[in-house]
Amino acid sequence: MPKSNMNCCVVGCRSTYTNSPGTKFYSFPSRPYQLSRRQQWIALIRRQNVNGTNWKPSAHTRICSKHFVGNKKANEQGHPAYHPSIFPTVYKSARGSLTHGRRSWLDGRESRSDSKGHEAMKGKSMDARNKHSCRDVGRVENGISDEDRRFID
């Protein structure tokens, strides 16, 4: 895949190779001994196909470094960046809401923001708005936050 076509597979993330200089794009673990890690990444990303079936990454699917603690994937099991754990706030809502369109997500987000915050973001590009949409990482154990652990246990 040409680098210019690389984009992040995380719902709500707008990172691409061209609009995110310095951001790295990682392929999903694909070796037989990495099967458990691959399955955990898929579970943490919580993505579904349009028809409701389970989503599976292809050989060309990438996740950007913005979703890893320290903006870099770690290969040491137990390291906080061993699994992706930083996701847009759309992941805090119910799992079913991930199928709603981006517009409805933004509408809900804007209605919850105070008028001062809304005025501050008025006129800014979507990338500037999305820059502020990733949640803080709470307690992380074995690379998986408490909030995300409930989806893979």
As for how many domains the chain has, the answer is 1
- The runs of H, that is alpha helices, within the chain are 35-45, 102-112, 115-121, 126-131, 146-149
Confirm if 6 and 16 have CB atoms less than 8 A apart: yes
Dig out the tokens for 11 from the structure. Answer: 């719902």
Cβ neighbour number for residue 147 with a 10 Å cutoff: 16
Q: Which pLDDT value is given to residue 98?
A: 43
pLDDT tens for the chain, residues 1 to 153: 566 689 999 998 999 999 999 999 999 999 999 999 999 999 999 999 999 999 999 999 999 999 999 999 999 999 999 999 988 775 555 444 444 444 444 455 444 444 444 444 445 444 444 444 444 444 445 555 555 555 454
